[in-house]
Structures are given as structure tokens and as C-alpha cells.
Amino acid sequence: MKKVYQYIVMGLMAISFAACEEELNSKSIFVDPVQDPEAYTKQFDDWLKRNFTDTYNVEYLYKLDDSATDPNYNIVPVRLGMADTVAHLSLYLWYDAYNTVVGPHFLSTYGPKMIQLIGSSMINAAQGTEKLGYAEGGIKITLMKINAMDVNDVEQLNHYIFQTMHHEFSHILHQKKTYPKEFETITPADYDPSGWQYRYDDNIADLWKREHPAWEMGFVTCYGSSEAHEDFVETIANYIVQSDENWQYMMDHAGTKGAAAIQRKLEMCRTWLREQYEYDLDEMHREVQKRQGDLDWDKIMHLYE
Amino acid sequence: MNKHMNMKTKILFLLAASVLLMGCDRDEESLFDKSATERLNEALSNASTTLAGAENGWEMLYYPNTTSCGYNMLLKFDAHGSVVVAACNELTTHDRYVEDKNSTWTVKADYGPMLSFDTYNNILHAWADPQTDGDGYLGDYEFLVLKTTQDMMRLKGKKHKAYTIMYRLDNQVKWKEYFQQVNALRDIVFTGNDGMPMNIITPEKTYEYVYQSGILQDPDSVEKDPFPFIIRPGMIQFYDTGINGAVHFVLNNDRTALVCTDEGHADVRIESALSPVEYYDNRLNLRARWTYIDEGSDSDTRLQVANLRDKASANGAVIDKIAFEKTASLNSRGVKTYAHALYVSFLVEGKVFEGCIHLNYSADGEHITYSYKSADASLEKLLLRMAATKAEGAKMFTDIFCDTYSASSYSGSSLNMIHMSLQSANVTNKSIHVVANTASL
């Protein structure tokens, strides 16, 4: 009898689960984004779709969704005009440079899937630091402090955008294929994740020359002296965007030991990029320098249909 | 024993069956006609349509965060995603009327509908810009929509949690005039009035507060809640639930009080804690100078002062400021002593000099009285150009400025006495307009 009851209980349970099976609601929780043909940003959005989404499979996010950022920081969105300018500059100074040097498929394969723009930086007042960009999981690159940028100043463009883009993109590259462990043995003692920001020479306003205390320790920038993987991508990014003159200035002011360490790191980056990605770092440097030297706004703003 | 087991199993069976059958009851009535998804989508669309439907836009009463004073902005939402934001305030537009038309808005799903200004607007995002300290004014640009009606929206800042209210603007309101009306009321009651002791008077009790930058503050400590407010055309509106429910106040006809217009709170009022003479005295004690201003002084008085200036300039000195002040100095025993004086600054050959004429001063309930005491050596350089002796020169000033005066607010509102009229009790055609120069505080 006991068994019978048990079977009945099991049977009831089976029935009850079957009865509770509910048909899924076919209505999505999201409203279909109906394209408004008169939308204020339609022209720009269509242009972005053609030049970024269709060409490189990348979403260019300029309208800020604060929930997609770190809630611990106060940030603001980007100005529409700056979003437009930076989009054009990115195609000219970044995408086209990679297209020329490593071929048109490189960025659609390895490139970020999202580029997010933010108007301000993320300021950590307690530490005296500000974040100008970050990369997440090889998928998304966030560029910051766009509103404050003087687009006619190449040094600033590099400091706020392109050095950051090459930096973050190099993170993506080494997250896919690890960089050589020997890199971490060149200047192992001087990495300081919490004190690197005190290494700048605050008496110097020039964004490059104020990095000189790091040079003497064998890093191309103070931020590079924070951690080895930052050092690795800072070496690549700065080699690309800094002029020959700036690079030489650094080597001349790094002292024998510092210059030797930087040279060794550069060689390692060069070899790694060539072997892993068939990417010629020197050619990239030359291509970017050529483009930086020829910032013809009229041309750039009409270059992409 | 066996029987007992059977009984237990039977009970278990019945319990299980009842629970399971109850769980399957699909006839349960939903509280709502529609699914949560449909209701959310409807709320999003309702908020968007309402916002874009206001032909002349919205009046926003914006508090960057829960500890800040509030600011007005006017916004017009376009159905295709652009927004115009206008403001006129000291902090972000330097008291000029400014509009920014080139930014976007959207309503999206968060914990309910969320209004987001997702590209930078010079007026609105100025409150959220982290500036160099990472905080700035700690304002929001993403707002949870708490309530939507045709004429009003209640919002809450997503990050900094302050409540913000928007009212639909009447079609005939002209945006620039809106801010002119706001500033007119501001000038009468609040401009220059930081530090003004004000009492909140309820039928039960009088609370002592001080006006400070758009907020009524506890003068002594933080024991009492501060009451931030926003000036609207013809009224002030306190933050959220206001002073225990008293939210809207207007200036009464004789401009002596802000009186509550909310039902059930009509007997709540805000008045100056000081009489004009007490306020005059209070500012002197806080080291403010009461500086003479031509404009608004009696024409006879102005003529006398003009003669004084002419006399000085004919003798190579230009009189700059004339003010009543109270000075403090340490005597030889190190004890602080106070003295009243008429402060005068003047220029000789382009160089600025200053000095004073010592005065006797007394204040009672209705009047203040000044009389000549002595001339200071520091003013010699001016006085001896104007007369044969220091005392004679000083008399030229004191004949005009020393008198018994009744004091009243120049703006006409006893809530704001930063500008005062001193009316001679002896001569009808003698009144002087003075302003408390808080810069010297």
C-alpha cells in the first residue's frame, strides 16, 4: 500500500510539473528599435553604420549609457560634434593605418567590437590619477576625456585618444596570444601599481618630457612602470605615436641603463608582433607618423562617405 | 507499528497532493490586465510622448544632489531625440541666459522608465561634469521617472538620488522672461543676502535659520535639517516635502514675509529675524562696511556729496568710497577695542589712500545716531587739501553723514536688507542709500 501511495505521489508530481509548463511569451522585453527616419542623429548614425559596423563589425557607442560604465566614477557623455570628429579621426589615423600595414582583415578579426566614447575622464582624486581609457575582455575599448581635447593638437590627440587606442588594442592582442614572459624580467623591481603616478616630473608641462623619470628606470612612460602588461602595451603604443624626434629625445635622456632596457623591450615587442601577428611595428610607426603629419581637416572630414 | 507507518504515509500523500494541486492552480487572477513587459513598454512610451508633447517645453527644478541648493532649467524635448536646455544662473552660465540645442535625450528601461540625456549638453551636464576633483557639482543626467502626468513629472537622479520635478510650461511663457521673473524675485529677497538670519514661524514654534546660497541652514550646527529651495516666477518652492509639508511660498504684499500657499500650511511664514536697526548693527559687527551709493539717495544729499567731491578734485584728490564702519584694534594691554568711523578712500596722483573720521555711534530700537568725534591722521592728506585744518575738513563730511536716522530696507523687503535707506529724522530731504559690503567680511 505504501508503495502504491508513493507511485501516486510521483505520478501527481509528474502531472503537476507538466501542468505548470507555461507557454513562453513571444513578446520580447525589449521594444524593437524602430528606426525613426527623422531622428536627430540619423545622418550620423547611418554614416557610423556604413563606416564602422558594416566595414569593421564594430559598434561606435557615443550615446552614453552610464550603467555600462564604472558606477564609482562621475562621468559625462561626449559632445555630438566631438563624437563626429573622433569617428573621422579614428578611421584616418587608426583603422586606415592598420589596413595599410597589416591588411584590411586584421581589425575586423582582432579589432574591438565596441568603441565607447566618454566626455570626461574617470578621476580618482584620492590617488591623484585619472583614467583616459580601458579595454574590456578584448571586445570593448573605452576612450575618455574627449570633450576636453583640442583636435588641432597632435600631442593631445595622441595623449587622449590614439596612444590610448593603440594601448588598449595591444591589450586585446596580448589577451589573445600571451606576450613573452622574459619581458617581465627586464625591469622587475621597479613596477609600482600604486605609486607610478608620483613618478611624473610635475615641473614640466610637456606631456612627453614630463615622463623622463620613468625613462631612467627603463620605462617609456610612468604609467608603463605600473605593471608589466601595461609596460608592454605602453612600449608598443608610444613607439607608434611618438615622433622620431620624441623617441630619440627619450633615448638620449634615459641614461645608459634606462635606454638599454627600453631598447630590449622594444625589440621584444617588435619580434612578438611580427611572429604572432605578422605585424611590422616599424612600418606602423612610419604610417601613423605620415598620417599625423598630414592632418588636413577638410580632407579627413570628406574622406569617408 | 505498521498501521502507524501507513497513517504517516497517508498524511504525507494528502499533504503532497494538496500542495502540488495548489501549485498548479492556473486560475489565479493577475492584478494587472497586461504583462510586466507590456506595462514597462507603455510607461516608456507614455513618458516619451508626454515629454515631447509639451509644446513650450518643461520647467525643471533641478537639485544636483541631496545636499545642494536647486537650480531652474527650461527644457524642450523634440520627438526625434534632440533637446534644448536653457538656464540663467551664477555658477554655470555666469548670470547670462544661455541655451544649448545640440544634444540628445531618450527614455529607456532601467528599474522602470529612465530619462537619460545621453550626449553632452553645456547647460545640463555642467552639473555632472567631474571637473578636476572627480566630483564637480555631483549632479545627475540619468533620472528614474517616478511619476508622469500631463503637467508634471517627478524624477529621481540615478546616481546621486536627488528628486527633481518638472512642470509643463504654459504656451505663453517666454523663456527669457521666465528667468527675468525668477531673478526679479531673487533680487528683492535673496541677492547678496547670504548670512541673513531668517525665522521659520509655525503656529507651534519659531525656528531660527540663516539664509545661505539658496538654502535655509541651521545657524549653529547641523542639528536641524537644511531646507534647500528654488526660486520660480513669483514664488519659491522648497525641495521635496519642504518644511514639514509646507513647500510653496510667496512674498506677501508689504514684502515682510514669505507666506506658505499650500493647503493646511497657510500659517507657516518666513521672516527676517532682525529689525532694520538690528540688521544694520549686525553687519557692522561682522565687519561689513555700509558704503554710500549716489543712486537712490535723496537728490539734496547727492548734491551735497557732489559738492564735497568737487571740492576735493579741485584740490587734486579724487574721493572714491565713503562708508560707515566699525573697526577693532588691540590696545596696549592687548584688549580688543571697537570704534565707529566714516571710512573714506581717495586717489592722489593715481595712488589710492584711505583713512577715517572717528564717530560716536548709538543705536536704539528705531534709530541710529552718528556724531563727530575726531579726525584721523590717515585722512590728513585729503582733509588738508579741502580745508585749513583737519577738523574743518572733517566737518564737511560729518555735516552730511552725521545725523539721527531711521533705517529701512532699500529693496522694500525686510527679508533682504543688504541695501538700506537711512532717512534723516531731522531733515525730510535727506536720505542716504548704503550697501553692506560683504567683501570686507
Q: Inform me whether the C-beta atom of residue B22 falls under 8 Å from chain A C-beta atoms.
A: no
- DSSP class of residue B344 equals E
A28 domain residue, yes or no: no
- Residue numbers of A between 177 and 196 with CB closer than 8 Å to B: none
CB distance A40–B132 less than 8 Å? Answer: no
Pure H helices in B195-291: 276-285
Average confidence (pLDDT) over B396-407: 96
Q: Which three cell numbers stand for residue A247?
A: 623617441
ipTM: 0.80
pLDDT of residue B15: 60
- Measured between alpha carbons, how far is A273 from B48 in angstroms, rounded to an integer? 50
Is A193 inside any structural domain?
Answer: yes
Range A109-126 average pLDDT: 91
Can you tell me which residue has the cell 545622418? A43
- Half-sphere exposure (CA, 13 Å, Cβ side) for A72? 6
CB pair distance less than 8 Å for B106 and A25: no
A37: in domain: no
Average pLDDT for A268-279: 96
What's the pLDDT tens digit per position in B209-222? 999 989 999 887 66
**Pick the residue with more confidence: A63 or B332?**
A63
What pLDDT score does B76 carry?
98
Number of domains in chain A: 1
Residue A48 located in a structural domain: yes
| pTM as predicted | 0.82
**What pLDDT, in 10s, does the model give residues A158-199?**
888 888 889 988 988 998 899 999 999 999 999 999 999 999
> Which residues from chain B sit within 8 angstroms of residue A149, using beta carbons?
none
Residue A140 has pLDDT above 50, yes or no: yes
Label residue B27 by pLDDT band (50, 70, 90): low
Domain holding A187: CATH number? 3.40.390.70
Residue A106 lies in a domain: yes
Are the CB atoms for B73 and B84 separated by under 8 Å?
no
| pLDDT score of A110 more than 90 | no
Is A27–B35 a contact, with Cβ atoms under 8 angstroms apart?
yes
Residues of chain B found within 8 Å of residue A38, distances taken between Cβ atoms: 80
Percentage of chain B beyond pLDDT 70 is: 91
Helices (H), B54-202: 90-93, 175-189
**Domain extent for A95:** 42-303
Most B CBs within 10 Å, among A76, A85, A127, to test the B interface = A76
- Which of the two residues, A26 and B250, has the higher pLDDT score? B250
pLDDT above 80: residue B26: no
Cell of A59: 559598434
Q: What is the pLDDT of residues A213-265, one digit of tens each?
A: 999 999 999 999 999 999 999 999 999 999 999 999 999 999 999 999 999 99
Closest CA to A77 of B309, B82, B124, B265: B124
- List strands edge to edge, sheet with A140-143: A59-61, A114-117, A140-143, A133-136
Identify how many contiguous H helices and E strands chain A contains and give both numbers: 14, 6
Query: If you average pLDDT over every residue of chain A, what do you get?
Result: 87
pLDDT given for residue A121 in this prediction? 92
- What is the percent of chain B with per-residue pLDDT over 90, rounded to a whole number? 77
Go through A268-300 and write b for each residue having 16 or more CB atoms within 10 A of its CB, e for each that does not.
Answer: bbbebbeeebebebeebbbbbbebbeebeeeeb
Closest by Cβ to A20, choosing from B24, B41, B78: B24
Please tell me the predicted confidence (pLDDT) of residue B5: 53
Q: What is the pLDDT of residue B211?
A: 94
Distance CA(A254)–CA(A262), nearest Å, equals 9
* Residue B118, φ and ψ in degrees, nearest 5: -100, 0
- Gap between the Cα atoms of A243 and A9, Å rounded: 80
- Give the number of A-B residue pairs with CB atoms closer than 8 Å: 125
Query: Where does the pLDDT of residue A21 fall: very low under 50, low under 70, confident under 90, or very high at 90 and above?
Result: very low
Dist CA B125 CA A77 (whole Å): 8
Determine the pLDDT at residue B340: 96
Does residue A55 belong to any structural domain of this protein? yes
Does residue A242 lie in a domain region? yes
Using alpha carbons only, give the angle A156, A158, A159 rounded to the nearest 5 degrees.
60
Give the DSSP letter string of B182-250.
HHHHHHHHTTT-TTEEEEEE-SS-EEEEEEETTEEE-SSSSSSPPEEEEEETTEEEESTTTBTTB-EEE
Q: Using CA of residue A66, residue A67, residue A70, residue A72, what is the dihedral sign?
A: positive
